[in-house]
Structure 1
Amino acid sequence: MKTYKVHKVNVNTMSINGRGDHPLWNRAHMINDFSSPWHFESVGDIEFRAIHDGETLFLFYKVHDSQLHIDSTDNSKKSVDNSDRVELFLRSDEHLNPYYCLEIDPLARVQDFMARPQRQFDFSWNWPKDDIAIKSFITETYFCVEVALSMNSLKQLELIQSDGSIQAGIYRAKYNQQQNGQFEPTWITWVDPQTDTPEFHTASSFGTFLLEDF
């Protein structure tokens, strides 16, 4: 299982604006070993970082992409589901009963839901609004997404283990236009789940975040 160490910074010194330009992000380890095990084409560069201050877990994605696909029908979860996006799944154990999903598009719109095995999705569930903040930023060549999750909500959802670890999946959906004009997703993941077809909703697609000094 892949492990990512989440470095700790001083409390109340971190903030997000969507750009990922706060100096404290330099303290975070950057990973970019993402792939699409089910597709032959190369995937654009994706950078991920995370840090925490004991009260909040901060996450940052930078996705290099000059041809974004964003469904602008409305601001519903369905529109997010049809758009380029980054994703974070969090679980309490390998049984996935339950686990929690955040899917965020370049406009900082979020599709959040609770899930259980066999793709039982509860789209009526939302991350507590006072415990999450999301900001994004778009340029001609890349977009950034920053997320802040309160440690209190992670604890209430039983997502932090006694050793300070969090079991997490990091993903990306990239929509490409096909010859018929329709858009189809390429599924990109940090951890290769070793499945024959694209699948994030499986225990083998998760890695581990290890919170420093927690």
Structure 2
Amino acid sequence: MRILIVEDDRKMALILREALERQMHRVVSASTGPEGLEIARSHPFEAIVLDAMLPGMDGFRVAQNLRESKVATPILMLTARDAKSDVVMGLDSGVDDYLTKPFAFQELFARIRAISRRPPTEAALYFEMADLKLDPRTHAASRGGRTLSLTRTEFLILEFMMKHPASVLRREEIINAVWGYEETVENNTLDVFMKQLRTKVDDGASEKLIHTVRGFGYRLSAVAC
């Protein structure tokens, strides 16, 4: 499982990372609210462990911004505050579960397993642009009513692009989102997959949706660059 830890206490972040890695999870860390928000928006994770009190933007606002951005990754909030009002605030902001410090690691592991099994919210389950449709629940994609036969990697690339419609996505952003935040992938590997994806999505269509932005990366848009 790929897990993002957003925790400004370096000692706590290291303890969490080591504990989760011993459970064979892949862990990425962020130490501020804005950094955690950017990474969570740009890269796929199965769970986010989010501290409530963070510099730059607190965990409640991070969670709220993620949900407003249609990011449905399950969130477990960690906090030293256990007031009922804080619990309500966290749940209202889009957090899936709430764990008060100090805690036992076995409880942490159990709660992460539990939230990762829950289905994501409906808002993030379906994407559409022009006549291109993608359903992550069934891994189905179609264009103009024509079923697209996509490989797993092609599907992940298209899903990431549809999460950021009309945005210019840097090559490294796409690589990190699809192959992993800490993986090394050659640029020409991405080019090969983008060529295959463009053939499947745009060939035969009067309106091209996948555009190359020279010197930067790619963009999914119904309007040509």
Give TM-score, length-normalised by structure 2.
0.24
Structure of higher CA gyration radius: 2
Q: From the two aligned structures, give the one with the greater strand fraction.
A: 1
